[in-house]
């Protein structure tokens, strides 16, 4: 077995062993059943007066009462008794702060006790190390425990001295219901409300309409909110007259649904915030990019809002999400598309967006999401990625949305799968080289100064060997810190390939990456003339030092809870003969201003820049972003407000000297 593979397996094993809560020293508890005061129509009232509502399934970080059906017809409560106290409120926990290759793990705990399946026996403590998936689920009317692919079901025998046990025969499973309380009960939203596109300030746009989709249940109430204020609407579609005629800014619309079904399950769920963006215009050839959002999707409109604050109300031409959209072990493709993608769409405010997969995301889903955006990518991209945005394509022009202003940008999405092979134990860019070279060769054959962005989740540098590889305090990160997934083989070949095209053809190439936040790295920026130390072989700890002819930078880590991630993103835009590259915090504003000089300057760029500088009212005749469905942006009339060019010289922040850590 190769050394790198052995180390990776050892690390994964340690993660699992450390993740499972060992409670061998905790006082053992026996499991008994206790009565409830009453139970009817899906409402459970405990003897202490607490009211709980029947739910369909477990949700992360919530408390539950677990009941079984007694022969009397009553529901009785699963209770742990350690001789000193009884416990009947079970907390459900889904482990997410683990590597993408870790097994799935959930737990049900009450006080110091855990509900544990030890074969047919029930226990209250983990007594040995475990590996593989350990999952609790409420399936139909059964409580199911999955361990290493095998299923066990809670069994109830009221006549036995030990009434609870487990069985692998579903026919012997107890009739189980689960109850919860709080702001969220069972989930019922099947389609998140969202804005089709942004609108332009002063364009006379009609009031936007938001619609929420629900499961097949009886709706008890619908409440809509705009920026936290409840609105007078109780239907599933809401026309937000209150948002008409507003000045530039980002507004948030959501709804709270309550309902029930014929099985007595009670539903209560608040939708994702639907961002509604009112802009003064679009910044030409600009990109808002971030990595590692890890399910904190509400930070996306915060980032858009931060750009608008920096630019005086103008929005980016394009958003690039550079991987790790979710938490925990790598999500399934259907889970990504059905559960997470609609939540992300709601928060984007209709701004054009493309996606790159990280180690927590399925590349197949990221490619499907980019293709669905219809921004010049192939109709069906492979899981490894490919061209996900082409600003000069007919598809972008036909769509007429904000990315129409990004004619000078092309994006190649290098999904994490491109470096992972089922045939070897090594994570390497070797198999991605030919596809990227084909992209660069095609671009070089008809190059007119476009910014060619290679958006990848993982980087090219050896962690800790770059002088710029530092932590929050400015101290250097340990060399080769982390696994092969952070120090990827053949990074030197990919770096050399990009460098060759940038130098030989005077091409503006920008490589954007994320992922390293869990190593403690802060954001990095290197450009033409700097030195990049790239991985040759992780197993051999070999590398090369390459004088750069392209620009290499972090996208920014937009999450707030993992590693050194601190709600930062990057905003890149063209400024005459150079590019501005700002690292921005959603809470603190500008963190670092950097620049890199363009290798190629089309004649028209200077003319446009000059006209914008001297006349802030200069516009272009391109159609402003709209849904492409016969209407003004997201609203449904036939107006076509123009894209307002960003008056760059007048609105851009004062330049700062490029700051380098180390």
pLDDT in tens, 522-535: 989 999 999 999 99
What's the confidence (pLDDT) of residue 604? 55
Q: What is the mean pLDDT of residues 284-300?
A: 96
What's the confidence (pLDDT) of residue 466? 94
Pairing of strands 508-513, 551-554: parallel
Least confidently predicted of 118-132, 182-196, 287-301, 424-438: 118-132
What's the confidence (pLDDT) of residue 126? 81
C-alpha distances out from residue 8 to 252, 257, 503, 539, Å: 43, 45, 37, 11
Q: What does the alpha-carbon distance between residue 92 and residue 16 come to, in Å, rounded to a whole number?
A: 18
What's the confidence (pLDDT) of residue 601? 65
CATH of 189-270 among 1.10.3470, 2.60.40, 3.30.370, 3.40.720:
2.60.40
Q: HSE of 540 in the Cβ direction (CA atoms, 13 Å)? A: 8
Task: Give yes or no for residue 607 having a pLDDT over 80.
Answer: no
**Cα 93–chain centre separation:** 20
The residues spanned by each domain of the chain are 3-180, 189-270, 280-294+309-324+355-595+604-651
Judge residue 133's burial from the number of C-beta atoms within 10 Å of its C-beta, 0-12 exposed, 13-18 middle, 19 or more buried: middle
Q: What does the alpha-carbon distance between residue 625 and residue 401 come to, in Å, rounded to a whole number?
A: 3
Q: Any idea which fold 3-180 has? A: Trefoil (Acidic Fibroblast Growth Factor, subunit A) (2.80.10)
What's the confidence (pLDDT) of residue 562? 85
Cβ atoms of 460 and 419 closer than 8 Å: no
Q: What does the alpha-carbon distance between residue 527 and residue 531 come to, in Å, rounded to a whole number?
A: 8
The sign one gets for the Cα dihedral 366, 329, 517, 423 is: negative
- Could you give the 3-state DSSP secondary structure of residue 472? coil
Cβ atoms of 453 and 395 closer than 8 Å: no
Q: What is the mean pLDDT of residues 221-235?
A: 97
Q: What share of the chain is helix, strand, coil (3-state, %, to 5)?
A: 20, 35, 45
pLDDT in tens, 571-601: 999 999 999 999 999 999 999 999 999 998 6
Torsion angle, CA of 121/122/126/131, rounded to 10 degrees? Answer: 60
What's the confidence (pLDDT) of residue 598? 94
Task: Give yes or no for residue 628 having a pLDDT over 50.
Answer: no
What's the confidence (pLDDT) of residue 172? 96
Between residues 146 and 328, the one the model is more confident about: 146
Q: What is the mean pLDDT of residues 377-403?
A: 93
Between residues 624 and 474, the one the model is more confident about: 474
> Which DSSP state fits 645?
B
Cβ atoms of 558 and 291 closer than 8 Å: yes
pTM for the model stands at 0.85
Cβ atoms of 622 and 630 closer than 8 Å: no
Place 189 in a pLDDT band, splitting at 50, 70 and 90: very high
What's the confidence (pLDDT) of residue 130? 65
Cβ atoms of 598 and 508 closer than 8 Å: yes
Close Cβ partners of 33 (under 8 Å, ≥ 6 residues apart): 68, 70, 76, 77, 78, 79, 156, 158, 163, 164
pLDDT over 90, % of the chain: 73
Place 236 in a pLDDT band, splitting at 50, 70 and 90: very high
pLDDT in tens, 636-655: 222 333 344 444 433 333 33
Q: What does the alpha-carbon distance between residue 25 and residue 429 come to, in Å, rounded to a whole number?
A: 47
Q: What is the mean pLDDT of residues 389-414?
A: 95
Task: Report how far apart the first and last C-alpha atoms of the chain are (Å, whole number).
Answer: 37
Least confidently predicted of 239-248, 261-270, 617-626: 617-626
How many residues does the structure list for the chain? 662
Q: What is the mean pLDDT of residues 17-37?
A: 69
Task: Give yes or no for residue 467 having a pLDDT over 80.
Answer: yes
């Amino acid at each position: 077995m190769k050394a790198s593979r052995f180390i990776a397996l050892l690390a994964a094993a340690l993660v699992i062993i450390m993740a499972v809560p060992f409670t061998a020293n905790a006082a053992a508890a026996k499991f008994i059943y206790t009565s409830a005061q009453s139970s009817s129509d899906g409402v459970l009232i405990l003897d202490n007066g607490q009211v709980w509502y029947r739910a369909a399934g477990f949700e992360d970080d919530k408390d539950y009462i677990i009941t079984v059906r007694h022969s009397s017809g009553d529901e009785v409560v699963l209770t742990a008794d350690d001789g000193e106290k009884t416990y009947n409120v079970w907390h459900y926990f889904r482990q997410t702060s683990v590597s993408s290759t870790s097994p799935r793990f959930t737990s049900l705990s009450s006080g110091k006790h855990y509900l544990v399946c030890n074969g047919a026996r029930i226990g209250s403590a983990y007594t040995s190390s475990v590996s593989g998936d350990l999952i609790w689920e409420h399936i139909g009317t059964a409580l199911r425990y999955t361990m290493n692919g095998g299923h066990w079901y809670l069994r109830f025998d009221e006549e036995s001295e030990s009434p609870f046990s487990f069985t692998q025969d579903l026919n012997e499973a107890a009739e189980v219901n689960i109850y919860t309380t709080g702001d969220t009960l069972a989930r019922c939203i099947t389609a998140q409300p969202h804005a089709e596109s942004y609108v332009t300030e002063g364009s006379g746009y009609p009031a936007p309409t938001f619609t929420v989709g629900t499961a097949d249940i009886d709706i008890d109430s619908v409440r809509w909110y705009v920026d936290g204020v409840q609105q007078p609407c109780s239907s599933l579609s809401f026309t937000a007259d209150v948002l008409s005629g507003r000045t530039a800014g980002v507004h948030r619309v959501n709804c709270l649904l309550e309902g029930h079904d014929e099985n007595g399950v009670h539903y209560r769920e608040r939708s994702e915030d639907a961002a509604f963006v009112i802009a003064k215009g679009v910044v030409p050839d600009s990109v808002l990019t971030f990595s590692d959002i890890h399910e904190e999707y509400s930070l996306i409109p915060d980032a858009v809002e931060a750009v608008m604050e920096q630019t005086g109300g103008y929005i980016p031409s394009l958003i690039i999400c550079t991987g790790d959209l979710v938490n925990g072990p790598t999500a399934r493709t259907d889970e990504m598309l059905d559960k997470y993608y609609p939540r992300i769409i709601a928060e984007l405010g209709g701004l054009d967006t493309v996606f790159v997969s990280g180690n927590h995301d399925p590349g197949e889903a990221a490619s499907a999401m980019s293709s669905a955006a219809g921004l010049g990518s192939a109709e069906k991209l492979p899981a490894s990625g490919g061209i996900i945005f082409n600003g000069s394509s007919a598809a972008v022009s036909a769509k007429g949305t904000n990315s129409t202003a990004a004619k000078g940008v092309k994006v190649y999405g290098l999904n994490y799968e491109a470096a992972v092979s089922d045939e070897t134990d090594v994570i390497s860019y070797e198999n991605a080289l030919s596809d990227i070279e084909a992209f660069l060769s095609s671009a070089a054959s008809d190059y007119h100064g476009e910014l060619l962005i290679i958006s990848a989740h993982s980087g090219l540098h050896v962690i800790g060997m770059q002088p710029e590889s530092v932590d929050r305090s400015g101290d250097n990160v340990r060399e080769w810190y982390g696994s092969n997934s952070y120090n990827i083989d053949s990074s030197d070949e990919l770096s050399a390939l990009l460098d060759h095209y940038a130098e030989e053809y005077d091409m503006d190439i920008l490589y954007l990456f994320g992922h390293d936040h869990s190593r403690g790295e802060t954001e990095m920026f290197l450009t033409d003339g700097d030195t990049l130390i790239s991985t040759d072989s992780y197993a051999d700890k070999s590398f090369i030092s390459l004088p750069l002819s392209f620009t290499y930078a972090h996208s920014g880590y937009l999450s707030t809870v993992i590693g050194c991630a601190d709600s930062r993103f990057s905003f890149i835009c063209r400024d005459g003969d150079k590019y501005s590259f700002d690292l921005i915090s959603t809470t603190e504003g500008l963190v670092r201003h950097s620049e890199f000089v363009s290798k190629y300057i089309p004649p028209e760029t200077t003319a446009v820049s000059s006209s914008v500088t001297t006349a802030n009212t200069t516009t272009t005749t391109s159609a402003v972003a709209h849904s492409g469905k016969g209407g003004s942006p997201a609203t449904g009339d036939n107006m076509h407000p123009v894209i307002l060019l960003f008056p760059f010289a007048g609105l851009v922040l004062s330049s700062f000297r490029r700051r380098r850590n180390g």
